[in-house]
Amino acid sequence: MGTDDRPHDAVMPTDVPRQLSWFDRFATATSGYISHAWFFVACVLLVVVWAPSIFAFGTVDTWQLVINTLTSIVTFLLVALLQNTQKRADEAVQHKLNAIADGLTDLMSHVGGDDPDVDRDRRELRRAVGLEDRESSA
């Protein structure tokens, strides 16, 4: 299956721009940092430091409000960043699958010749390339 008969929504790895936006680079770096054990340890230490701070705040409501607000803000921001990196990873896998399907249909054309079963399988594989894009809700 050459580029002329590739479905219009099937993106190949070589068609993907190599330059990442500043946000993508920031999200990737953040994802790298928070996936290490030291980030988890820092979170545990935050809770350990927060727990005895009840004496500094005077009321339980203020004490709880501080940790609830802090964790809500951090969670909200991290979900946005991690969603960015996950989406790009999913797209990269789809592009690689497109390349594999393209190469496989080319190989099937050369090896299978005019065999009707191979031709049917090639057409089915061509239709499958980019299937995720057609079936997604995005």
Per-residue pLDDT of the chain (138 residues; tens, 9 = 90+): 444 455 445 566 666 667 888 888 888 888 888 889 999 999 899 889 888 888 888 788 988 898 899 899 999 999 988 898 898 888 888 888 888 888 887 887 788 777 888 878 877 877 777 655 554 545
Query: So what's the pLDDT on residue 105?
Result: 79
Neighbouring residues of 103: CB distance < 8 A, sequence distance ≥ 6: none
CA distance 38 to 36: 5
DSSP 21: P
Pure H helices in 15-138: 22-34, 37-50, 54-57, 60-112, 116-128, 131-135
Apex 106 CA angle, 105 and 112, nearest 5:
80
Query: So what's the pLDDT on residue 73?
Result: 94
Instruction: Say what the pTM is.
Output: 0.59
Query: So what's the pLDDT on residue 34?
Result: 87
CA distance 127 to 6: 9
Q: Which residues of 29-50 are buried (b: 16+ CB within 10 A; e: fewer)?
A: ebbeebeeeeeeeeeeeeeeeb
